[in-house]
Amino acid sequence: MFTRKKEETKKNTRKKRNVFRRVGTVVSGLAASLAYAVPAFAADSYLRPLINLKTLLVQFGEPAGTVVILYGGWCLAESWHRKDQGGQYSAINIITAGGILLGLSAGLDALVG
Protein backbone atom coordinates (compact mmCIF):
# COMPACT_ATOMS: atom_id res chain seq x y z
CA MET A 1 0.00 0.00 0.00
CA PHE A 2 2.85 2.34 0.75
CA THR A 3 4.53 1.69 -2.57
CA ARG A 4 1.35 2.47 -4.48
CA LYS A 5 0.96 5.80 -2.72
CA LYS A 6 4.61 6.70 -3.37
CA GLU A 7 4.19 5.88 -7.06
CA GLU A 8 1.07 8.04 -7.28
CA THR A 9 2.86 10.87 -5.51
CA LYS A 10 5.76 10.59 -7.98
CA LYS A 11 3.36 10.69 -10.94
CA ASN A 12 1.55 13.73 -9.58
CA THR A 13 4.87 15.49 -8.98
CA ARG A 14 5.96 14.78 -12.56
CA LYS A 15 2.66 16.11 -13.91
CA LYS A 16 3.04 19.29 -11.89
CA ARG A 17 6.59 19.78 -13.16
CA ASN A 18 5.44 19.30 -16.75
CA VAL A 19 2.63 21.81 -16.30
CA PHE A 20 5.02 24.37 -14.79
CA ARG A 21 7.47 23.84 -17.65
CA ARG A 22 4.75 24.36 -20.24
CA VAL A 23 3.40 27.45 -18.51
CA GLY A 24 6.92 28.84 -18.20
CA THR A 25 7.55 28.26 -21.90
CA VAL A 26 4.32 30.01 -22.89
CA VAL A 27 4.95 32.96 -20.59
CA SER A 28 8.52 33.42 -21.81
CA GLY A 29 7.34 33.20 -25.42
CA LEU A 30 4.71 35.87 -24.82
CA ALA A 31 7.22 38.10 -23.09
CA ALA A 32 9.66 37.74 -25.99
CA SER A 33 6.97 38.54 -28.56
CA LEU A 34 5.87 41.63 -26.64
CA ALA A 35 9.44 42.86 -26.31
CA TYR A 36 9.80 43.47 -30.05
CA ALA A 37 7.68 46.13 -31.72
CA VAL A 38 6.26 45.51 -35.19
CA PRO A 39 6.97 48.41 -37.56
CA ALA A 40 3.95 50.18 -39.05
CA PHE A 41 5.27 50.05 -42.61
CA ALA A 42 5.20 46.24 -42.71
CA ALA A 43 1.65 46.26 -44.14
CA ASP A 44 3.01 46.35 -47.71
CA SER A 45 4.55 42.90 -47.27
CA TYR A 46 1.09 41.47 -46.59
CA LEU A 47 -0.36 43.05 -49.72
CA ARG A 48 2.47 41.98 -52.04
CA PRO A 49 0.92 38.56 -52.95
CA LEU A 50 -2.41 40.24 -53.78
CA ILE A 51 -0.70 42.82 -55.94
CA ASN A 52 1.18 40.06 -57.75
CA LEU A 53 -2.09 38.17 -58.33
CA LYS A 54 -3.73 41.33 -59.70
CA THR A 55 -0.81 41.87 -62.05
CA LEU A 56 -1.03 38.28 -63.25
CA LEU A 57 -4.78 38.51 -63.87
CA VAL A 58 -4.45 41.77 -65.77
CA GLN A 59 -1.53 40.52 -67.84
CA PHE A 60 -3.41 37.41 -68.95
CA GLY A 61 -6.96 38.81 -68.89
CA GLU A 62 -6.54 41.58 -71.41
CA PRO A 63 -4.87 39.50 -74.16
CA ALA A 64 -7.28 36.61 -73.56
CA GLY A 65 -10.27 38.95 -73.84
CA THR A 66 -8.88 40.38 -77.06
CA VAL A 67 -8.37 36.90 -78.54
CA VAL A 68 -11.90 35.85 -77.56
CA ILE A 69 -13.35 38.99 -79.17
CA LEU A 70 -11.38 38.34 -82.37
CA TYR A 71 -12.51 34.70 -82.45
CA GLY A 72 -16.12 35.81 -81.93
CA GLY A 73 -15.78 38.29 -84.78
CA TRP A 74 -14.42 35.57 -87.04
CA CYS A 75 -17.29 33.22 -86.07
CA LEU A 76 -19.80 36.03 -86.69
CA ALA A 77 -18.39 36.74 -90.15
CA GLU A 78 -18.41 33.05 -91.04
CA SER A 79 -21.98 32.50 -89.85
CA TRP A 80 -23.10 35.73 -91.55
CA HIS A 81 -21.67 34.44 -94.82
CA ARG A 82 -23.56 31.14 -94.40
CA LYS A 83 -26.70 32.96 -93.23
CA ASP A 84 -26.78 30.85 -90.08
CA GLN A 85 -28.78 32.59 -87.36
CA GLY A 86 -27.80 30.12 -84.64
CA GLY A 87 -24.12 30.66 -85.42
CA GLN A 88 -24.60 34.41 -85.35
CA TYR A 89 -26.25 34.19 -81.94
CA SER A 90 -23.36 32.05 -80.61
CA ALA A 91 -20.80 34.43 -82.09
CA ILE A 92 -22.45 37.41 -80.41
CA ASN A 93 -22.33 35.52 -77.10
CA ILE A 94 -18.61 34.84 -77.64
CA ILE A 95 -17.96 38.50 -78.40
CA THR A 96 -19.89 39.52 -75.29
CA ALA A 97 -17.87 37.10 -73.15
CA GLY A 98 -14.62 38.51 -74.51
CA GLY A 99 -15.82 42.06 -73.84
CA ILE A 100 -16.71 41.13 -70.27
CA LEU A 101 -13.28 39.54 -69.73
CA LEU A 102 -11.54 42.56 -71.20
CA GLY A 103 -13.70 44.97 -69.18
CA LEU A 104 -13.14 43.13 -65.91
CA SER A 105 -9.39 43.05 -66.32
CA ALA A 106 -9.31 46.75 -67.27
CA GLY A 107 -11.59 47.60 -64.34
CA LEU A 108 -9.41 45.60 -61.95
CA ASP A 109 -6.35 47.40 -63.22
CA ALA A 110 -8.03 50.79 -62.79
CA LEU A 111 -9.44 50.08 -59.31
CA VAL A 112 -6.41 48.56 -57.69
CA GLY A 113 -3.90 50.64 -59.59
**What does the domain layout of the chain look like in residue ranges?**
1-36, 41-113
- Residue 100 makes CB contacts below 8 A (sequence gap 6+) with 65
pLDDT value, residue 61: 84
Cα separation, 113 vs 104, in Å, equals: 13
End-to-end, the C-alpha distance of the chain in Å comes to: 78
The predicted-structure confidence for 48-70, as pLDDT tens digits, reads as follows: 777 788 888 788 888 888 999 99
The gap from C-alpha 77 to its chain's centroid, in whole angstroms, comes to 40
Res 33 pLDDT > 80 = no
> What confidence category does residue 17 fall into, taking pLDDT thresholds of 50, 70 and 90?
low
pLDDT value, residue 69: 92
Closest CA to 71 of 56, 92, 102: 92
